[in-house]
Amino acid sequence: MRTDWLSKFTIVESMDLLESQIAVIDQDGVIVAVNRAWTSFTASNDGDMVTSGLGVNYLTVLEEAGEDLVSRQIRDILQGKASQSAYSYPCHSPEEERWFCMKAVPVKKDDVLYGALIIHENITETELYKQETTEVLESMTDAFLSINEQLFITYINSGAAQLIQRKKENVIGRHVLDVFPEAVETEFFSHYENVFKTKKAARFEAYYPALSTWFESSVYPQKNGGLTVYFKDIRDRKKAESQLRRAAYFDELTNLPNRRFFIKHLHHMIEAKQQKGEGCAVLFMDLDGFKNINDTLGHDTGDVLLQEIAVRLRDKAGPDHFVSRLGGDEFLIIFSGASNDEEVLAFTDLLLSIVKEPILIDQNAPLYITASVGISLYPVDGDTPDELMRKADMAMYQSKKLKGNQAVLFHDELHQHLERRLYIEENLKNAAENDEIFFMYQPQVNARTGKIIGFEVLSRWKSAKFGWISPVEFIHIAEESGHIADLTRKMMKESFAFFQKLRTDCGFSGFLSINLSSKLLTDPGFAEEVRTLYEQMNWPKETLEIEITESVPLFSSEHVFDNLEDFRKQGICVAVDDFGTGYSALSYLHDFPLDKIKVDKQFVDQIDKSSRGEALLSSILHLANSLDLLVIAEGVETKRQLDWLVSRDCFRIQGYYYYRPLGEKEVTALFEKTETF
């Protein structure tokens, strides 16, 4: 057995430094060198160096163990027919489950083949992660399959196998068109081809004749060139579509148009009246004392009463006017012929008179009820459905104060109810410029070390007129009024400058987390502003984190998807704020460009209060871990909550247990204590 050629290869000298078990075999398959890990592993697993040590023919050992295929693959390498081979196998000990991957590569120098390198690498952690991921995919309610670039099916979960009426083992590894030959003539195949071509996700509904089934499908491109497909059977939904359409626009109890239909009709009415230069009115009617009838006579009696009132209003209003039920004991009516206040009030008095007529139910004593009505006029009080409805609602509450059976027209005095909102809307810009709106920073802590790892920027407004105004209130108004972009620019400018100061003067190396509105994320121009400002700061990657709030408009927008994907390419971390409180779907966690989820305070509050709540929180943490997403818990206030979370490997913490939101001076003071970061 010649081994003099081993000196040509430096790998032999450094094999003992590697944790994997490594052996070198010559062209005949004889082991000519092993590293310390190989010898140690053989000894600790009751092995025998006589059958696995120097001088042993490794190929013979494999063949005697029944591993003929592996032996042939290594022979191909020794004969120069193959450049590598890999084989994964379990190797469990009494104490633990273990998996290894045996790799074989040629040992060559100057195009001369001397033998092969045999490497046994411990892949237990990777294998367990795959098993956890598979468990998550198998537990999904959605059907799921994965297709590679050559259109071969690489994975299918049990839900998908059941839907397509195939066994998993008869599907995995086969070409899509072998399993679904009829698909080539359907929308499915054309959508798959388009996703391959454009690298953009597609969502569609299509009928598959071979299974006589409608499917809703979401197709996402994979980084490796394949496709991920989520789909579900929507036969029942399709069968019920006509009923659903009616349910979407009509009230089930009274058969009157509902709120959605009312808004749609009012929008068309406004357009028609605008063209003709005419007016109309919105009447908001609320029955007086209806709750007492429900409480004393029961909901069945209340329902019959509502049905009778609906019939009376519809019959009396006639085809020229529009009557709908908003919900509960509230009705919305469009009076289409409003030329002056007196005409509207006369029509309203007619409706009030027919409402208060006695109502007989099951031969019992007659019931008497009255109504209160608020009225807004187009175009005097507004030119949008929302504005007219809000002002009619305000007028209705004013009529309630008159003890019922009254109608009130919206007027200027009612503007006091709108004053706060209008003040906020009109003063947002000035408040930002004069620093009534300012920013605070709440630390995020690594609970394992107690060190601050980052800060979330939080907006605050102390108004000269109203005092403290909740960010929930003024940010929502900023989004609706179009001021959110300017407010966000101020936030980024000031917080980035302060954060740069922390990095320069205090040596802080953590991250800064900012919240971005979904409205801004749909704007390519604003997204470019964020990217440009981030590049100008020249911070290391993952120094900036963007928090988004989960919602249907957010996760269904291609613009948002593309912008967040671009952010991540720049090294900006993308986190979902208030996770689990909005639009949650496993498919967006799987394919949307995300790095982190923030577990909402309402889940943290369940610790020690609800076993079901704790179970749900545990599931969220496990799911995030399986999908390789970072997790931070917010709203942590007690030591018990902290210990519970840390014991489940959720150690990124934000909340009053560690720190309240801090001003810039307070943050700077923190860094005088070197143990904080």
Q: What is the pLDDT of residues 297-337, one digit of tens each?
A: 888 899 999 999 999 999 988 888 999 999 899 999 999 98
Q: Which two tokens stand for residue 29?
A: 């398959």
Return d(Cα 287, Cα 406) in angstroms, integer.
11
Q: What angle do CA 600, 601, 603 make, to 5 degrees?
A: 75
CATH no., domain 438-458+485-670: 3.20.20.450
**What gap in Å lies between CA 214 and CA 163, rounded to an integer?**
11
> Taking the CB of residue 661, how many other CB atoms lie within 10 A of it?
17
- Under a CB-based contact definition with an 8 Å cutoff, are residues 257 and 321 in contact? no
User: What pLDDT is recorded for position 371?
Assistant: 94
Residues 6+ apart with CB under 8 A from 385: 262, 263, 266, 267, 270
DSSP at 540: P
Per the CB < 8 A criterion, the answer to whether 557 and 522 are in contact is yes
d(CA 283, CA 375): 5
Q: Please give the residue that has the higher pLDDT: either 557 or 189.
A: 189
Type of residue at 228: T
Residue 334 sits at φ, ψ, to 5 deg, of: -105, 120
Q: Is 50 exposed, middle or buried (0-12, 13-18, 19+ CB in 10 A)?
A: exposed
Best CATH choice for the domain 4-122 from the list 3.30.450.20, 2.102.10.10, 3.40.30.10, 1.50.10.20:
3.30.450.20
In this prediction, what percent of the chain has a pLDDT beyond 70? Answer: 90
Q: Among candidates 417, 428, 422, which has minimal Cα distance to 461?
A: 428
Superfamily in which the 252-410 domain is placed by CATH: Reverse transcriptase/Diguanylate cyclase domain (3.30.70.270)
Q: What is the mean pLDDT of residues 34-41?
A: 85
The predicted pLDDT at position 583 comes to 52
Q: At what angle do helices 484-506 and 524-537 cross, to 10 degrees?
A: 10
Is the CATH code 3.30.1330.60 the one for domain 127-238?
no
Model confidence over 379-403: pLDDT tens digits?
Answer: 989 999 999 999 999 899 888 878 7
Q: Using the CB atoms, write b or e for 458-475: b if 16+ within 10 Å.
A: bbbbebeeeeebeeeebb
CA distance 676 to 449: 9
One-letter amino acid at 247 equals: A
Peptide bond into 209 cis (omega under 30): no
Residue 185's closest CA among 164, 201, 206?
A: 206
676 vs 466, more confident: 466
The average pLDDT across 578-596 equals 69
Report the DSSP pairing between strands 630-634 and 652-654: parallel
- The answer to whether the CB of 365 falls within 8 A of the CB of 380 is no
Predicted pLDDT of residue 84: 86
Q: What is the mean pLDDT of the chain?
A: 85
How far the first Cα of the chain sits from its last, in Å, is 60
Pairing of strands 451-463, 153-156: unpaired
**Is the distance from CB of 105 to CB of 83 less than 8 angstroms?**
yes
Per-residue HEC secondary structure of 166-214 comes to CCHHHCCCCEHHHHCHHHHHCHHHHHHHHHHHHCCCEEEEEEEHHHCEE
Cα distance between residue 259 and residue 534, in whole Å: 45
CB 189 within 8 A of CB 159: no
**Domains 127-238 and 438-458+485-670 fall in the same CATH topology:** no
Q: At what angle do helices 524-537 and 558-569 cross, to 10 degrees?
A: 10
Q: Angle at the Cα of 587 (from 585 to 592), degrees rounded to 5?
A: 105
Residue from 374, 380, 384 nearest 480 by CA = 384
For residue 417, pLDDT over 80 is answered with no
Residues 367-390: b if buried by 16+ CB within 10 A, e if exposed: bebebbbbbbbbeebbeebeebbb
Residues 6+ apart with CB under 8 A from 674: none
Domain positions in the chain are: 4-122, 127-238, 252-410, 438-458+485-670
- Mean of the pLDDT values across residues 340-357? 91
Residues in the chain, overall count: 677
Spatial CA neighbour of 380 closest among 277, 279, 285, 282: 279
Token pair 């010898």: residue:
39
The pLDDT of residue 135 is above 60 = no
Of 70-74, 276-280, 577-581, 654-658, minimum mean pLDDT range? 577-581
What is residue 563's predicted lDDT score, i.e. its pLDDT? 84
- Strands of 143-147's sheet in order across: 153-156, 143-147, 227-233, 213-221, 202-208
User: CA distances (Å), 33 to each of 13, 65, 70, 364, in order?
Assistant: 10, 21, 20, 102
The mean per-residue pLDDT over the stretch 261-271 comes to 94
Query: Which amino acid is present at 70?
Result: V
Supply φ then ψ for residue 633, to 5 degrees: -100, 130
Round to whole Å and give the CA distance between 469 and 460: 8
Give the phi and the psi of residue 48 in degrees, each rounded to 5.
Answer: -130, 120
In the three-class reduction of DSSP (H, G, I as helix; E, B as strand; rest coil), residue 489 is classed as helix
Most confident stretch, 321-330, 464-473, 519-528: 321-330
pLDDT tens for residues 418-439?
A: 677 778 888 888 888 888 999 9
Least confident of 162-171, 316-325, 612-621: 162-171
> Model confidence at 376, in pLDDT bands (50, 70, 90)?
very high
Q: Which residues contact 245 (CB under 8 A, 6 or more apart)?
A: none
CA nearest neighbour of 33 among 46, 47, 14: 14
236-246 pLDDT, tens per residue? 888 877 777 78
The CA angle 460-474-558, to the nearest 5 degrees, is 105
Check: CB of residue 123 under 8 Å from CB of residue 104: no
User: Which pLDDT score, from 0 to 100, does residue 552 have?
Assistant: 46
Instruction: Report yes or no: 574 and 593 within 8 Å, Cβ to Cβ.
Output: yes
